[in-house]
Amino acid sequence: MPATDSSSSSPAHHSSFGRTILSLRHRDPIHHGYPPTPEHTHASSSSDDREIDAFQRHAADLLLDLLPSSASPDILSLDWTRHLLDSFLICLEEFRSVLFARDAADAAALARAPLDRLLADFFDRAVKALDLCNALRDGLDLLRQWRKHLAIAAAALSPAPSDDASATLGEGQIRRARKALTDLTILMLDDKDAAGAGQRNHSFGRAAPKDAGQHQGRGHHRRSSSGGGSGSGSGNGSHFRTLSWSVSRSWSASRQLQAIGGNLPVPRAHDVAATAGLASAVYTMGAVLFVTAWALVAAIPCQDRGLQAQFAVPRSFPWASPVTTLYERVLEESKKKDRKHSCGLLKEIHQIERWSRQLMEITDAAQFPLDDEKDAKVREAAHELVQVCETLKEGLDPLERQVREMFHRIVRTRTEILDRLSRPNTTE
C-alpha cells in the first residue's frame, strides 16, 4: 500500500510541542555555527535535558488525555482508539525529533554504547509491531463484514419513506432481520473460534500480487481478499468468512505483545548519564509503543488475541501514573462478565452483541402482530443498530488510515536512524 501523508493524523493542538523543541535548540549558540566553549557545552547539555524532559512530560499529558473523563470519548470506542493512535504518532514524531536534535558531533553518540544497544532493542520491538498492524487491518475488515449483516437487519426493521412509521412491524420484516443477525452471529463466532487458521495474504508494507484473485473456500476457509480496502461480500456456503489473515498460521497477537513489552529494559542511572538522557527517551517510547499495541489488540479482533502480557514501569517517570492507569482500565474492561469472551473490546462490538442479542430474544417465538410493548422494544433495538452502523461506516476507514500511518512511521523512523548511524562523522 502507498504510504500516507505523515502530517495527516496529528491534531493541530499538539503541533506546538515540536516547535517548542526547535526553539530550545535554536537558542543554543552551537547550532548557529559558533565554536563550542565550556559555557556553550553546558548550555547544550541543559537544552538537551529540557528537550527530553519536555518529551516525557508531553507523553504524560497525551496518555492522561486518554483516561476516561467527561470530556473524552468512551474508552475503547472508535473515537477513543483514533485518539490513542494520534497520541502514539505524536510521541513517535517527537521521539525522532529528540534523537535528531544533536549537532553533527553529538549525532555519533547514537552509535556508541549503551545507546546503540538500547536503540537496537527498541527497533527490534517496533518491527514486531508491523505484523500487528497487518493483523489489526484484518480485524477492521472483519468489522466491515459484520456491519453489512447489521445493515441488512437494520434496514429490514426501518420503515420505508412512504410507509407509516407508526405501523406495527410485520412478520416478514422480523424474519429478514433475524436471518441477518443469525448470519452475523455465526460469522462473529466463526472468526473468533478459528482465528488461528489464517494465511499470509496482504500487508501494509507491500502490494498484493496483481493476479491474486478471489477463491471460494470450503468449510472453515475464507474467501481471500486481494490488496487493501474492505473485503468482498459473504460467500454462499454455511460460513461467511471473507478474508484470510495477513499473518502466518502460527502467528499470535498475544505472543507478539509479550515480545513487544516483555522485559522492557529500564535505563540505569549510568546509562542515562552516559547518553545525556536519551536512554530515558528510548524507554519512554518503548512503553508508549507497548501500551498502544496492547490497547489496539484489546479493542480490535486479532488472530489469537490475548492480554496476558505483564506491564510495570518505575514511578519515577512523569508518564508512569497515566500509563499504568490506562493499562489497568483496559484490563478491567476485559474482565467484565459481558465482555470477557467478546471478539474485541471495542465499544461498537459490544453494542452489536448487546442489541443483536436483545432483538433476537424479543422476537423469539413472537406472536404477530407484535403487541405494543414488544414493537417498541424492537424499534429501540433497531434504532441502536442503525446508530452502530453509522458509527462504523464513518469511523473504520479513518482508523485504518491511522493504523497504516503507524506502520509507515515505524518503518520510516527506523530507516532514518539506521541511515544516520551509517553516515561517517562529518566533524572528524
- Annotate 131-194 with DSSP letters as a single string: HHHHHHHHHHHHHHHHHHHHHHHHHHHSPPTTS-TTSPPPHHHHHHHHHHHHHHHHHHHHHHHT
Question: Is the pTM for the entire model greater than 0.75?
Answer: yes
Residue 3 inside a domain? The answer is no
Give the other-Cβ count within 10 Å of 221's Cβ. 17
Angle at alpha carbon of residue 230, lines to 229 and 231, rounded to 5°: 120
- CA distance to 126, 236, 248, 374, per residue, from 131 (Å): 10, 30, 10, 47
CB–CB of 9/89 below 8 Å? yes
Q: Is residue 16 included in any domain, yes or no?
A: no
**pLDDT winner (highest mean) among 16-30, 67-81, 82-96, 107-121:** 82-96
Instruction: Specify the 3-state DSSP secondary structure of 335.
Output: helix
8 Å CB contact between 128 and 260: yes
Q: What is the pLDDT of residues 299-311, one digit of tens each?
A: 999 988 888 888 8
More confident residue, 124 or 251: 124
Q: Which of 58-67, 108-117, 144-153, 312-321 has the lowest mean pLDDT?
A: 108-117
The span from the CA of 117 to the CA of 275, in Å, is 11
Residue 391 lies in a domain: yes
Q: Is the pLDDT of residue 179 over 50?
A: yes
In a domain? residue 310: yes
Looking at residues 326-350, what average pLDDT do you find? 90
Residue 9 forms part of a structural domain: no
Q: Which domain covers residue 405, as residue numbers?
A: 29-428
DSSP class per residue in 34-66:
PPP-HHHHHHHHHHHHHHHHHHHHHHHHHHHHT
pLDDT at 314: 94
Q: What is the pLDDT of residue 342?
A: 85
Is residue 12 in a domain?
no
111-120, 194-203, 233-242, 386-395: lowest mean pLDDT where?
Answer: 233-242
- What is the pLDDT at residue 35? 37
Cell numbers describing residue 212 = 491474486
Q: Is the dihedral of CA 307, 310, 315, 318 positive or negative?
A: negative
Which whole number is the average pLDDT over 381-408? 96
CB 224 within 8 A of CB 244: yes
Percent of the chain with pLDDT over 90: 51
When divided into structural domains, the chain yields a total of 1
DSSP of 303-331: TT----------TTSTTHHHHHHHHHHHH
Mean pLDDT of 275-290: 95
Residue 213 near residue 227, CB atoms below 8 Å: no
| Dihedral sign computed on CA atoms, order 31, 100, 45, 56 | positive
The pLDDT of residue 15 = 40
* Averaged pLDDT for residues 345-356: 94
Tell me if residue 270 falls in helix, strand or coil: helix
pLDDT of residue 11: 43
250 in Cβ contact with 269 (< 8 Å)? no
Q: For residue 23, is pLDDT > 60?
A: no
17 within a domain of the structure (yes/no): no
3-state SS, residue 215: coil
- Which residues, including other chains, have CB under 8 Å from residue 361's CB and lie 6 or more apart? none
All three cell numbers of 412: 520510516
260 in Cβ contact with 125 (< 8 Å): yes
| Euclidean distance between CA atoms 384 and 375, whole angstroms | 14
18 within a domain of the structure (yes/no): no
Nearest to 409 by CA among 267, 244, 292: 292
